[in-house]
A and B are shown apart, each in its own frame.
Chain A
Amino acid sequence: LEQGAGGKAMRDLVSEVLTAGLPDDSLDIGREAMDDGAVVPIGDRNVVFTTDSHVVHPPFFPGGDIGRLAVSGTVNDLAVMGATDVRALSSAVVVEAGYAESDLERIADSMARTCREADAAIVTGDTKVMGHGDLDGIVVNTTGVGVADHVVGDDGLSPDDVLVSTGEVGRHGVALLAEREGIDFGTTVESDVRPINGVVDRALSVAGADITAMKDPTRMGLAGAASEMATKGGVGIELRQDRIPVPSDVKGASEMLGLNPLQIANEGIALLGVRPTAAADVLAALRSHPDGQDAAAIGKAIDDEHGRVLLDTGLGTRYLREPATEPAPRIC
């Protein structure tokens, strides 16, 4: 269970177990660096390839559903590797016997709509039905193929690189928690789930190689993503609390649960490392896109505290911990 949370435990599981025995291919930078997808050079093009299976409870939630999540998840994994040009998606759906047909239709519609937003198409698919009780409702797998002019990893940060968030932080996790656990915060927080290849493309088109690293801060939240980028890049990261866009409803809700919004899942933003000289252009480019209105420079990489994330709260600079499990109380 702990491994499903996507934090440190997940990385350990993936690196120790799942990749054991696979042939070593130095061109496969994705797997080697434990990135979001794999790069397969075909001719002089960089084809990026990724796959993900999606289970979410409940399958319908404020701001989205499992279909939108499945398409966005794969599109976004491609986008943060630089493959904003999504050439093809596949979809494999497994449902439990007796699953409501109307729900299935809603999910399919949502996938189609999300594909249009991403300027992508599902080119092949498959649906299987399993016995009642053999799975819990529905599982959606999507696989995507995209093309990158310039492949970006999550390990490319250098000291002084500016960290940019393409949007607000914490929406998806809080929306899901409220819906799943029946917690009433007085307001309805909507998930941010959406394809981000469009907004990321704006940044890449103005800055190109000045974008040194990218990552989508999904299950492990902003803190977890930043921590991974810091570790892989061999740098420290210093974030400024007053610069991080946390919507007030997310702030209120996470406060009431004692959770840190920076450790809560997102499904519609990316974290970018940008050379300082290009930061202003990147911010302007992101903000020119409807999904990048809240883009902000939230911190920078430092040549100190390697592998760690620090948060300048205005009252000192404290260490931000990567959650070991989700959601993570900091006990003691």
Chain B
Amino acid sequence: MKRAHVQVDGVVQSVGFRPFVYRTAVDLGLRGCVRNLGDAGVSVTLEGPGDRIDAFLRELETNPPPLATVERVTVDTEPVTEYSYESFSIVDSEDRGAGGGTVPPDTAVCEACLADIRDPSSRFHDYWATACVDCGPRFTVIEELPYDRETTSMAAFPLCSDCADAYASPSDRRYHAQAIACPSCGPQLAFQPHDRSVDPPAVGERTGIDPLPQRSSLVEGDGQSLDAAARTLDEGGIVAVKGIGGAHLACDATRPDAVSTLRDRTGRPAKPFAVMVPSMDDVATVASASSTEREWLRSARRPIVVLDQRGDALASNLAPGLHTVGVMLPYSGVHHLLFDRVDDPIVVTSANRPGLPMQSSNRAIVEQLWDVADGSLLHTRRIVQRCDDSVVRAVGGSRTLLRRSRGHAPLPVAAPTADDADVLAVGPERDVTAAVLSGDECYLTQHVGTVTDRETFRFLQAAIDHLLALTGTERPSVTAHDAHPSFRTTEYAADRTADRTVAVQHHHAHAASVLMEHDCPRAVCITADGVGYGPDGTVWGGEVLDATLTDADRVAGLAPVPMPGGDRATEFPVRSLVGLLYDREGVDIQALVDALDWSPPNADEPRVIEQQLEADVNTPVTTSAGRFLDAVAALADICHERTYEGEPAMRLEAAATDGTPRDVTVPYTTADGRPVVDTPRVAELLVELRRDGTHATDVAATAQRILADGLADLAVDAAAERGIDAVGFTGGVAYNDAISRRIRQRVRDAGLAYLDNDAVPPGDGGVAYGQAGVAAATVRDGGVDS
């Protein structure tokens, strides 16, 4: 007989780990106890025959609870002659420290709970908020640590006696499940039809629950509410559906008229809308998904997965000009129950007005979307932290996060050790996610968005405060921010009282995110994106950097070219084309622009662009890869106006999938002594192809090929010169499948390791992670503040 002391570290608290240990130990006839440790681990004492203890450890390794992440198991065994425990028990932990990693993310309703919802004899039958230790809301309902029923927005729903019994019974799947609820004690659904001709109804003040509108037209009762919502969808209407981390705007995804109404009312003329399909079987009717992609679809994180569109079941205006569609499976009981009443896939797009973050309270949903939706499907549980859907795509066959949010937040990503310094990284300006680096882990906030407006910026502040509290990092001693002097996040970093602030150049942060993920000390990194403030005051965005965590040398990239009109060039891609061609002798720009299928917003604009370049008025210099792709989109008449972030490049990518790249030798030149792809010459070559009647799709494919080959070869050369054995690729352009594949292939053909992002987005959502790593390394090396 033996006694074993087992310590388990990782995400093992608040995920049903102790009940799992209890059940396993009791099943094996072992005695002892299990308790939570203050610093996020779990300690188990086992007494019994050695082979049964071994069986326990095998079970721990192979079959832990779905939400747990076991990082380390330490076992200390001693022979004993008699039992010191009567039985096996769960010991209440007096000391619940605010250690990091104790808060799990939100997860999709589990199979067992879904079966309860489907079971007419279950007390959870047809109940939308059914949850257990293995599933349900977590991050979005937690007010503060320690994570307990009382510290969540579920505290407003006192347990009925059945739920209280389940909560207290170690053998129950709902033992200590903080989000447990049933029809008799939990939050309820309601449907508020929107009468768009009158004012929105009053909604009560915030109490424990999220109050409902005060109007006689309010439909109460879960079943009736779902019926009313389904009817509205069936009629081609738009419904705001409050879910786990916020609200979606939904409509029938097979009806072009409904989709077009949604576009008109939200001012999103072309933005691709994601769809939710009833079940995995329905995915194939709208998109093709590999087995890996199916795994992502059904994973507990339940992200939107960007897939290649298939068939014509979906409305044609769902993702104009794109070959992909974002697909998601139901993740809340409310979705499953809605699909009992709706057959078709539904559009799910975040419910917000332009310039505002996604809405999450009943009041905000009703007031702000009163004239946008035809009705709101609401519930009475308060959403403490809003959290958008995560978005993932297979790029070059491997997982790439476009947005790391619900299902991930607030889980950490591994990061180099920062000694004792805790670092807060506030992110850049677009697509912001902030990060807290503590020890060797980096915690990321949920997706926040573009913080140029006040409401989104306030959301960022709240998300940061919440994350600092959850990770027990109240006062990080270092604040990292983008090097751009007038970002709102830069001002915010300066306003925080930290011991020091570290400015991190945008592309250095991108590069660092790749280095950190691979724990690689130094690599040549291709960082290709739209814009980032360069230390020389120009707009960077197509860079080959020799990067370590403390330094980034700009060793190659794209040629610097003017960007006539600054920000306006990002709106009208023709401007980037004119900027590229401005100095080329052989091109008559006015004739070229006139021949394009572009109707300028001002008749004089094409001429003014050239005069502006001549006069050098508001023509910043840029090396942006995004602007290069924009220019090609204009030249090939693929996109002439950007109505959402990244639109020209995304449409170009879609067009290129139908094209074949021409064999073109990449032209190079030098800029400030560094080798660069001669993008003006490339543009001229593409103009010639176009003039020779080459199809737009082939021009698009050729342009992507040149960009990929040019950057890859410059990076490979730089690596060879410096004796570096790895090349990274990151930045928003890394979402482009064809470009990523090509770069990876050329890097590997050269015998070098290829590094890309997996755990954080390569786009600006991953910048804070990189900022944190750079700041930590800078502080560790005693470097000076930049």
Query: A: which residues have CB within 8 A of B?
Result: 177, 180-186, 252, 255-259, 305, 310, 313, 315-319, 321-322, 324, 327, 329-332
Contacts and interface: CB of A to CB of B under 8 A. Distances in A.
A181 B617 contact: yes
Contacts of A316: 353-356, 453-455
Secondary structure call for the A interface: loop
Interface stretch (B114-122, B297-305, B433-441, B598-606): B598-606
A258 B611 contact: no
A184 to B, nearest CB: 7
A313 B506 contact: no
Given A313-B355, A332-B429, A184 B617 contact: no
Contact of A315 (B355, B457, B539, B569): B355
A57 B444 CA distance: 52
A183 B608 contact: yes
Which of B488, B506, B539, B615 has the most C-beta atoms of chain A within 10 angstroms of its own C-beta?
B615
A318 B602 contact: no
A231 to B, nearest CB: 12
B355 A186 contact: no
Interface in B346-391: 353-356
Nearest to B572: A258
A331 B531 contact: yes
Contacts of B604: 184-186, 252, 256
Nearest to B575: A258
Contact of B601 (A255, A305, A318): A255
Given A256-B605, A305-B454, A332-B532, 19 more contacts: A180-B615, A181-B614, A182-B611, A183-B615, A184-B611, A252-B602, A252-B604, A258-B568, A317-B355, A317-B453, A319-B452, A319-B454, A329-B563, A329-B620, A330-B566, A331-B533, A332-B484, A332-B531, A332-B533
A184 B608 contact: yes
A182 B567 CA distance: 22
The 7 tightest CB contacts between A and B, nearest first, are A316-B355, A329-B566, A258-B565, A258-B568, A181-B615, A332-B531, A186-B604
Given A186-B604, A331-B531, A332-B429, A258 B564 contact: yes
A313 B354 CA distance: 10
A256 B353 contact: no
Given A177-B617, A257-B608, A332 B353 contact: no
A184 B615 CA distance: 12
A225 B609 CA distance: 29
Contacts of B609: 256
B567 A330 contact: yes
Contacts of A322: 486
Given A331-B531, A332-B539, A319 B488 contact: yes
Given A181-B617, A330-B566, A331-B533, A319 B601 contact: no
13 contacts: A257-B608, A257-B618, A258-B565, A258-B566, A305-B454, A315-B353, A316-B353, A317-B453, A318-B355, A318-B452, A324-B486, A330-B566, A332-B506
A5 B550 CA distance: 35
Contact of B618 (A305, A324, A329): A329
A10 to B, nearest CB: 16
B506 A255 contact: no
B612 interface: yes
Contacts of B453: 316-319
B231 interface: no
Given A258-B566, A332-B531, A332-B539, A327 B618 contact: yes
A229 to B, nearest CB: 18
B612 A257 contact: yes
Nearest to B603: A186
Contact of A331 (B356, B488, B539, B614): B539
Nearest to B616: A181
Interface of B: 267, 353-356, 428-429, 452-455, 457, 484-486, 488, 506, 530-533, 538-539, 563-569, 601-605, 607-609, 611-612, 614-615, 617-620, 622
Given A183-B611, A257-B617, A319-B488, A329 B267 contact: no
A88 to B, nearest CB: 39
A183 B612 contact: yes
A331 B570 CA distance: 10
A159 to B, nearest CB: 16
Contacts of B607: 184
Contacts of B608: 183-185, 256-257
Nearest to B482: A332
A181 B611 CA distance: 8
Contacts of A182: 611, 614-615
Given A183-B615, A186-B604, A252-B602, A318 B454 contact: yes
B183 to A, nearest CB: 39
Contacts of B618: 257-259, 327, 329
Contacts of A257: 565, 568, 608, 612, 617-618
Contact of B602 (A255, A324, A327): A255
Contacts of B622: 331
Contacts of B484: 331-332
A310 B488 CA distance: 12
A332 B614 CA distance: 23
B541 to A, nearest CB: 8
A315 B617 contact: no
Nearest to A256: B608
B429, B533, B604, B607 pick with most chain A CB within 10 angstroms:
B604
Nearest to A304: B454
A321 B178 CA distance: 45
Nearest to A310: B454
A329 B567 contact: yes
A177, A259, A316, A324 — which one has the most chain B CB atoms within 10 A of its CB?
A316
Nearest to B267: A315
B555 to A, nearest CB: 21
B355 A258 contact: no
Contacts of A330: 486, 566-567
Contacts of B617: 177, 181, 183, 257, 327
A2 B638 CA distance: 39
B146 to A, nearest CB: 33
A171 to B, nearest CB: 17
A180 B455 CA distance: 40
Contacts of B267: 315
Contacts of B454: 305, 310, 316-319
A316 B568 CA distance: 19
Contacts of A183: 608, 611-612, 615, 617
A255 B488 CA distance: 24
Contacts of B614: 181-182
Contacts of A327: 617-618
Contacts of A255: 568, 601-602
A331 B541 CA distance: 11
Contacts of A318: 355, 452-454
Given A256-B605, A258-B618, A332-B533, A321 B486 contact: yes
B400 to A, nearest CB: 22
Contacts of A258: 564-569, 618
- The winner among A256, A305, A318 for most chain B CB atoms within 10 A is A256
A321 B487 CA distance: 9
Contacts of A329: 563, 565-567, 618-620
Highest count of chain A CB atoms <10 Å: which of B452, B485, B506, B617: B617
Contacts of B455: 316-317
A315 B354 contact: yes
